[in-house]
A and B are shown apart, each in its own frame.
Chain A
Amino acid sequence: MRGVEIRNREGSASLARPHGEEPPDPSLAVCARGLSKIYRHPWTLKQTPALEDLDLEVRRGEVFGYLGPNGAGKTTTLKLLAGLLRPTRGRAWLLGLPIAGEPSRRRLGFLPEQPYFYDYLNGLELLELAGRLSGLQAHEACQRAKHWLGRVGLGDRPRLVLRKYSKGMLQRLGLAATLLHEPELVILDEPMSGLDPFGRREVREIIQEQRELGVSVMFSSHILPDVEMLCDRVGIVLGGRLIRTATVGELMGEGRCSVEIRCIGTPLLETPPRWRAHLSRVEHPEGTAFVLADAGLVDEVVGWLHSNGVRLRAITPQRATLEELFMAAAHEAPAVPGVRSA
């Protein structure tokens, strides 16, 4: 595993180097050092922190999921990286270039949450404009616009004006506009929102395709099964602070692993007292399921069931889902009052 793990103030490791004093590791797609955003009310001057001292590293070629509840600071982070918000403190680099200048956005594809487009343009015109603004020549922009319009399933009506597009169609068009110029880093804010299951699958496929092409992808999402399916690593942000980052495997490995044993013919069987804390029993019409909280006891329990003449139908390991782990992390994190997102 290359690079340095993400650090945060609450995390186990902390960065010894000062924020943003030296250029970042060139193997990083995203690097943030002490990145903070504090909003100040223009009249009362009351300060509202939206993001505090974010230290973040996303490696080139990886898919990074950025998780957090509403108002946690996900969108603020992504907008800071895309240059739509100016940081109050700290620095960040995209592909080794500081976010303050437009060169950092030359190889970036950014999809905002619920993208809005000029409704007087049609799909083809919008993609051509997006391509030209990202530095493509007119001919190339035109060709890629046609290709991507078809790729996201909108190629059959290229001249349809955007005011007639549905929410899902706009989302797919936004994705095409994000990827049209073949960026090296893609930042997507809730790319699955507003999409039906077919659209979600299509977006998942596109993200996977980008990963295979070596593109770094960072995206925020509420749809945890998608994150679980796509991401190499995830970061959990709460109350404007990054509280945890790990690979999906690490996170899942930390979750308690239970085992479900399905069997037939157990009506009179009584659970021995020594296992009562670990073994629960659920009756189903087609039999009985024993849920064993400690996977280490599975051999003993199976032996006991056999010795009592029980017929086993299935033994299934049950891992905690990312959703359960996320909820647990959210409950464990200290509350930060007054934090909101952009």
Chain B
Amino acid sequence: MTAYLIARNTFREATRDRVLGGVVAAGVVLLLATQLLSPLVLGEGRRLTVDLGLSGISVLGFLVVLMVGTSLVAKEIEKRTIYNLLSRPISRHAYLIGKWGGLSATLWVVAASLGFALWLVLAARGSAGHGPAVLEATYLTALELTVVTAVAVLFSAVSTPMLSALYTVGVYAVGQWSYDLRALASQFPPTLGNLLKAAANLVPNLPLFNMRTLAADGHTTSLLHLGVASAYAALYCTAALCLATAAFEKRDFK
């Protein structure tokens, strides 16, 4: 219950932040820009709209994680608002879960809004049939953002906003190239190769959440893919939040 209350408050904080309004506005502008560019891509306008629209959701969502998520806990410590929470009957893990849940909920709302806007644009172009593909791709993008938020909360719980932003960018970048990192590992001697493989396994497997190419062609993915991606996201978030809790449990608030 306390985690829910903190999540609700975090959601309220994020939705009242001007950053979020700016991000949604930027997403809409991006979608409109795709319509201006469509005549230049010789019949590939629909593909451009879907591809850029879905990429926009992912990138803009990541910006929200960077601007809000990486300072989610650190800012509370810095501003001392955390004193008013943790001096109440709230466990530290409930607090972290609440923070993560609140921001994740915000990102789901952003993703859903932009995904719906994308479908409206496609419908206006006569491609309303792309709806299921856009829905699935938006769902996977929101899952991806949920995982990245868990990573951001982990770093935010143990570090300063600036450092946690840097670490989150690093993990996000390596996570996006985790398949390439595994391929690269096989090119190196076993010791270094194993190290690279371990690093690739440690960072989130973000390509698992990317079905933009499929969606651009109007194809949907399998239920198995959606199920595996959901289970992986749940597992990764749990692990990241457990680590964050372990570090946060011993932390002093001076």
Q: What are the residues of chain A within 8 A of B84 when measuring CB–CB? A: 112, 115-117, 130, 174, 177
- Convert A80-112 into 0s and 1s, putting 1 for each residue whose CB lies closer than 8 angstroms to a CB of B: 001111100000000000000011011010101
B162 within 8 A of partner (CB): no
State whether A84 and B89 are in contact (beta carbons under 8 Å apart), knowing that A117-B81, A133-B5 are contacts in the complex: no
Pick the interface stretch among B8-16, B52-60, B122-130: B8-16
Q: What are the residues of chain B within 8 A of A86 when measuring CB–CB? A: 250, 252
- B80/A83 in contact, CB under 8 A: no
Enumerate A51-94 residues with CB–CB distance to B below 8 Å: 79, 82-86
Q: What are the residues of chain B within 8 A of A39 when measuring CB–CB? A: 252, 254
Chain B minimum-CB-distance residue to A85 = B252
- B86/A84 in contact, CB under 8 A: yes
- In this complex, the member of B12, B79, B90, B254 whose beta carbon has the largest number of chain A beta carbons within 10 angstroms is B254
- B81/A102 in contact, CB under 8 A: no
Enumerate A102-143 residues with CB–CB distance to B below 8 Å: 102-103, 105-106, 108, 110, 112, 114-118, 120-121, 129-130, 132-135
CA distance A117 to B85 in the complex (A): 10
A342 within 8 A of partner (CB): yes
Q: What are the residues of chain B within 8 A of A82 when measuring CB–CB? A: 83, 86-87
Q: What are the residues of chain A within 8 A of B81 when measuring CB–CB? A: 116-118
Nearest-Cβ distance from residue A211 to partner chain B, whole angstroms: 21
Enumerate B38-69 residues with CB–CB distance to A below 8 Å: none
Q: What are the residues of chain B within 8 A of A116 when measuring CB–CB? A: 79-81, 83-84
CA distance A91 to B250 in the complex (A): 16
- In this complex, the member of B13, B85, B88 whose beta carbon has the largest number of chain A beta carbons within 10 angstroms is B88
Chain B minimum-CB-distance residue to A174 = B84
Q: What are the residues of chain A within 8 A of B5 when measuring CB–CB? A: 129, 132-133
CA distance A135 to B2 in the complex (A): 9
Q: What are the residues of chain A within 8 A of B250 when measuring CB–CB? A: 86
Q: What are the residues of chain A within 8 A of B86 when measuring CB–CB? A: 82-84
Nearest-Cβ distance from residue B163 to partner chain A, whole angstroms: 14
- B90/A102 in contact, CB under 8 A: yes
Chain B minimum-CB-distance residue to A88 = B252
CA distance A19 to B80 in the complex (A): 32
Chain A minimum-CB-distance residue to B249 = A86
CA distance A177 to B84 in the complex (A): 9
Give chain B's interface secondary structure class. loop
Q: What are the residues of chain B within 8 A of A106 when measuring CB–CB? A: 89
Contact of B89 among A105, A117, A120, A177 (CB under 8 A): A105
Chain A minimum-CB-distance residue to B5 = A132
- A108/B13 in contact, CB under 8 A: no
- Convert A253-295 into 0s and 1s, putting 1 for each residue whose CB lies closer than 8 angstroms to a CB of B: 0000000000000000000000000000000000000000000
- B85/A102 in contact, CB under 8 A: no
CA distance A116 to B81 in the complex (A): 5
CA distance A118 to B17 in the complex (A): 12
Q: What are the residues of chain A within 8 A of B80 when measuring CB–CB? A: 112, 114-116
Contact of A120 among B12, B252, B253 (CB under 8 A): B12
B221 within 8 A of partner (CB): no
B201 within 8 A of partner (CB): no
Q: What are the residues of chain B within 8 A of A112 when measuring CB–CB? A: 80, 83-84, 87
Q: What are the residues of chain B within 8 A of A103 when measuring CB–CB? A: 89
B186 within 8 A of partner (CB): no
Q: What are the residues of chain A within 8 A of B87 when measuring CB–CB? A: 82-84, 105, 108, 110, 112
B91 within 8 A of partner (CB): yes
- B17/A120 in contact, CB under 8 A: yes
Nearest-Cβ distance from residue A142 to partner chain B, whole angstroms: 14
- Convert B179-220 into 0s and 1s, putting 1 for each residue whose CB lies closer than 8 angstroms to a CB of A: 000000000000000000000000000000000000000000
CA distance A103 to B2 in the complex (A): 13
- Convert B239-254 into 0s and 1s, putting 1 for each residue whose CB lies closer than 8 angstroms to a CB of A: 0000000000010111
State whether A84 and B12 are in contact (beta carbons under 8 Å apart), knowing that A115-B84, A134-B89 are contacts in the complex: no
Nearest-Cβ distance from residue B66 to partner chain A, whole angstroms: 19
Q: What are the residues of chain B within 8 A of A84 when measuring CB–CB? A: 83, 86-87, 252-253
Nearest-Cβ distance from residue B146 to partner chain A, whole angstroms: 23
Q: What are the residues of chain A within 8 A of B13 when measuring CB–CB? A: 118, 120
Nearest-Cβ distance from residue B87 to partner chain A, whole angstroms: 4
Q: With A82-B86, A102-B90, A133-B88 given, can you name 17 additional A-B contacts, CB distance below 8 Å?
A: A84-B83, A84-B87, A105-B88, A110-B83, A116-B79, A116-B81, A118-B13, A118-B81, A120-B12, A133-B5, A133-B85, A133-B89, A133-B90, A134-B89, A174-B84, A177-B84, A342-B254
7 closest A-B pairs by beta carbon, nearest first, are: A110-B87, A82-B87, A112-B83, A342-B254, A102-B89, A84-B253, A106-B89
Task: List 22 A-B pairs, Cβ < 8 Å.
Answer: A83-B87, A84-B86, A84-B87, A85-B254, A102-B89, A103-B89, A105-B88, A105-B90, A108-B87, A112-B87, A116-B79, A116-B83, A118-B13, A118-B81, A120-B13, A129-B5, A130-B84, A130-B88, A133-B2, A133-B85, A133-B89, A134-B88
